[in-house]
Amino acid sequence: MKKAIRYLALLLGIVLVAAGGFAAFVALRGIPSYKAQKLDLHVDATPTRLERGQKLASMLCASCHLDPNTGKLTGRQMEEAPQFGAIYSKNITAHKTAGIGSWSDGDLIYLLRTGLKPDGTYLPPYMAKLVNISDEDLYSIVAFLRSGHPWVQPDNTRQPDTKPSFLTKFLCNIGAMKPFPFPTRPIPGPDTTNPVQWGKYIATAQLECFSCHSKDFSTNDYFTPEKSKGFFGGGNEMVGMDGHKLKTLNITMDAETGIGTWSEASFINAVKYGQVPNGQPALRLPMMPYTNLTDAEVKAIYAYLKTVPPVKNKVERSE
């Protein structure tokens, strides 16, 4: 019996030493680097792309990269998801060294699809990867970033280096977070004559609403969003601009804990103007009003959400 206890203690000691060694390795190694592919792609900046790119950038890029101090996409500290560490979005103006002015169109497209910078640096989930967005929408964003718009005029502002948390480093080292493969086939746009398909595209591919409104960033499935835990059921903890912690709302059609009692008009008012029905307080940052969406686009999202299986998950609104 004593011999068995000694063996057990020895085994436990080995496990603890191994775990400690791996933890030290993760902490020192940080986020692994990879080899980035060079893409020979050039985006033509047509008037249609520039107009659409500005609209998409205002919803996808500005929320993270627009610095109120410079009025440009020079980056800022992102406190919305503290579980990832002390995160700073970077300068994506046309500045040659501080920004992305020296990047090729292919470099930008590869980053936005995979999460890999030209030097092989991997950006974990705090940098959105547009893995399912259509090629045309992606080209429109790139065209806008090259446009000379005031947001992207060259600016030498530099943000501090990001300090990822141990959790982020750990998930990256075990492969739970890693670069997405670059698509092998063209990605077409949605059928805008089919509201459900159009809404699915906006909510899961273009704006990735599910990313915040599912259970947790770390359990999201970006290639098959429907497999994300708590898909659209809310509960993902975030931090508002005032520093208060809050959880994302359940936006499935569950009548008790979701938005099953909301009308289409109520949903439009919430998404576009932040106005919640039934006398509830208005929506707060980091959820921003999507005023650039058309009513038809929001109606399409609503039509799609009506097809999503309801999730019973009561999210208490934190004040």
Structural domain includes residue 133: yes
pLDDT confidence of residue 243 = 63
pLDDT confidence of residue 266 = 93
Structural domain includes residue 116: yes
Rounded mean pLDDT, 31-46 = 90
Q: Are residues 98 and 67 in the same domain?
A: yes
Give how many domains the chain has, as a whole number.
Answer: 2
Q: Are residues 118 and 209 in the same domain?
A: no
pLDDT in tens, 51-76: 999 999 999 998 889 999 999 999 99
- In the chain, where do the E strands start and end? 77-78, 85-88, 163-164, 237-239, 245-247
Specify whether the CB–CB gap between 77 and 87 falls below 8 A.
yes
Please say if the pLDDT value at position 178 is more than 70.
Answer: yes
Token pair 């947001």 is found at: 151
Rounded mean pLDDT, 102-118 = 94
Q: Which residue has the higher pLDDT, 20 or 184?
A: 184
Q: Are residues 90 and 151 in the same domain?
A: yes
Q: Which residue has the higher pLDDT, 257 or 166?
A: 257
pLDDT in tens, 229-279: 999 999 888 776 566 778 888 999 999 999 999 999 999 999 998 888 876
Three-state DSSP class for 122? strand
Q: Are residues 116 and 212 in the same domain?
A: no
Please say if the pLDDT value at position 20 is more than 90.
Answer: no
Q: Are residues 147 and 229 in the same domain?
A: no
Three-state DSSP class for 225? helix
Q: Which residue has the higher pLDDT, 95 or 177?
A: 95
Q: Are residues 98 and 214 in the same domain?
A: no
pLDDT in tens, 273-300: 888 887 666 676 677 889 999 999 999 9
The helix-helix angle for 166-173 and 2-29 (nearest 10°) equals 100
Q: Are residues 204 and 289 in the same domain?
A: yes
Judging by DSSP bridges, how do beta strands 163-164 and 245-247 pair with one another?
Answer: unpaired
Q: Are residues 211 and 159 in the same domain?
A: no
Q: Which CATH number do you get for residue 250? A: 1.10.760
Cα 272 to Cα 22, 116, 294, 296, distances in angstroms = 47, 32, 9, 12
Rounded mean pLDDT, 193-217 = 93
Q: Are residues 212 and 133 in the same domain?
A: no
What is the H or E stretch that residue 173 is in? Answer: helix 166-173
Structural domain includes residue 5: no
Full residue range of the structural domain in which residue 128 is found = 47-173
Rounded mean pLDDT, 6-12 = 53
Q: Are residues 160 and 233 in the same domain?
A: no
Tokens standing for residue 288: 């921003």
Structural domain includes residue 67: yes
Phi-psi region of 210 (alpha: psi -120 to 50; beta: other; left: phi over 0): alpha
Rounded mean pLDDT, 152-167 = 92
Rounded mean pLDDT, 95-120 = 95
Tokens standing for residue 199: 């809404």
Q: Which residue has the higher pLDDT, 24 or 32?
A: 32
Q: Are residues 154 and 248 in the same domain?
A: no
Structural domain includes residue 21: no
